[in-house]
């Protein structure tokens, strides 16, 4: 997979943002920035960065607030956070890690150290829960290899259909409205026509149908619930 991982840099000092940005760029990450906790929160919800670098000392002391909040909300709890701070007291470390922050870097730091820590955190967090394959009958979705197979044959689909199937397979037996699906698959504040969801559902079904053998048609797992949305279910419609 060649898609770059994105890091959100949250710091009120432009010089620091730039410095880190350059370091990340050199290391092959893409980055975005936010000056305030508010701006950061919106960016995180909207764009879902792979990791957040968060300055402890944001004006108003809201850095720690933001971290706590991100870890508390289900939607963002799994995004790793590395705190940046000038303080070295153990108190702060304890407090920060208590909130659920993944690592902690004290200023001043070398770009090299920062990048090393980012990589370490990313390795740790992506290596855990996420890459366990999900299987339903002979349909398997493997996050680690980012691949869908049916009877051990690869199923060809676009990235959106992959995310869609991934969402469904991790949330089986529940209806989701088109709005809700947009939130989960496209991001919280992306505005699309409602019917666009239908089209991608159709594409996903088609991909599953082409890959299905003469037995079960796996497209049937994705059920239309009239007036409500869609549902992934192994039970008869």
Partner DNA sequence: GCAAAATGTCATGAAAATGTAATATTTCAC
Partner DNA sequence: GTGAAATATTACATTTTCATGACATTTTGC
Residues 174-203 within binding reach of DNA (CB under 7 A): 186, 190-193, 195-196, 198-202
Is 195 a binder of a second copy (CB under 8 A)? no
Residues 11-30 within binding reach of a second copy (CB under 8 A): 12
CA 28 to chain centre: 19
Whether residue 175 contacts residue 231, with contact meaning beta carbons closer than 8 Å, is answered with yes
Distances from the Cα of 90 to the Cα of 52, 84, 95, 104, angstroms: 22, 14, 9, 11
Alpha-carbon span 173 to 140, nearest angstrom: 17
Burial 203-232 (b: 16+ CB within 10 A, else e): ebbebbeebbeeeeebbebbeeeeeebbbb
Is 45 a binder of a second copy (CB under 8 A)? yes
Return the C-alpha torsion angle 47, 121, 126, 185, nearest 10. -10
Is 50 a binder of DNA (CB under 7 A)? no
Is 186 a binder of a second copy (CB under 8 A)? no
Q: Three-class SS of residue 99?
A: helix
Q: Which does 126 bind (CB under 5 to 8 A by kind): DNA, a second copy, none?
A: none
Give the binding range for DNA (CB under 7 A) out of 29-37, 91-99, 165-173, 221-229: 221-229
Give the binding range for a second copy (CB under 8 A) out of 22-30, 72-80, 201-209, 213-221: 72-80
Structure tokens at 122: 């990313």
Burial 35-69 (b: 16+ CB within 10 A, else e): bebeebbebbbeeebbbbbbbbbbeeebbbebbbe
Give the binding range for a second copy (CB under 8 A) out of 15-23, 94-102, 195-203, 209-217: 94-102
Shortest approach of a second copy to residue 231 CB, angstroms?
A: 6
Binding site for a second copy (CB under 8 A): 12, 35-39, 41-42, 45, 58-60, 62, 65-66, 69, 73-75, 94-98, 100-101, 103-104, 112-113, 116-117, 119-120, 123-124, 127-128, 130, 144-147, 153-154, 158-159, 173-175, 179-180, 183, 188-189, 191, 225-229, 231, 233, 235-237
- Interacting residues with DNA (CB under 7 A): 2-3, 158-161, 186, 190-193, 195-196, 198-202, 205-206, 224-229
């Amino acid at each position: 997979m060649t898609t770059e991982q994105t890091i959100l840099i949250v710091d009120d000092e432009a010089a620091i943002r730039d410095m880190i940005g350059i370091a990340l760029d050199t290391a092959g990450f893409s980055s975005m920035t936010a000056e305030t906790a508010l701006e950061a929160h919106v960016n995180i919800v909207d764009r879902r960065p792979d990791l957040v670098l968060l300055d402890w000392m944001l004006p108003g002391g809201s850095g720690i607030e933001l971290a706590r909040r991100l870890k508390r909300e289900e939607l963002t709890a799994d995004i790793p956070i590395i705190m940046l701070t000038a303080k070295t007291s153990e108190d702060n470390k304890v407090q920060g890690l208590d909130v659920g922050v993944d690592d902690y870097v004290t200023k001043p730091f070398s770009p090299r150290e920062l990048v090393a820590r980012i990589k370490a955190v990313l390795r740790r967090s992506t290596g855990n829960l996420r890459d366990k394959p999900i299987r339903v009958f002979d349909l398997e979705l493997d996050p680690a290899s980012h691949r869908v197979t049916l009877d051990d044959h690869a199923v060809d689909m676009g990235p959106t259909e992959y995310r869609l199937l991934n969402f469904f397979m991790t949330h089986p037996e529940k209806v989701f409205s088109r709005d809700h699906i947009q939130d989960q698959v496209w991001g919280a504040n992306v505005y699309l026509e409602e019917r666009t969801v239908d089209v991608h559902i159709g594409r996903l079904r088609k991909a599953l149908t082409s890959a299905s053998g003469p037995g079960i048609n796996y497209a049937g797992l994705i059920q239309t619930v009239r007036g409500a949305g869609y549902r992934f279910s192994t039970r008869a419609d």
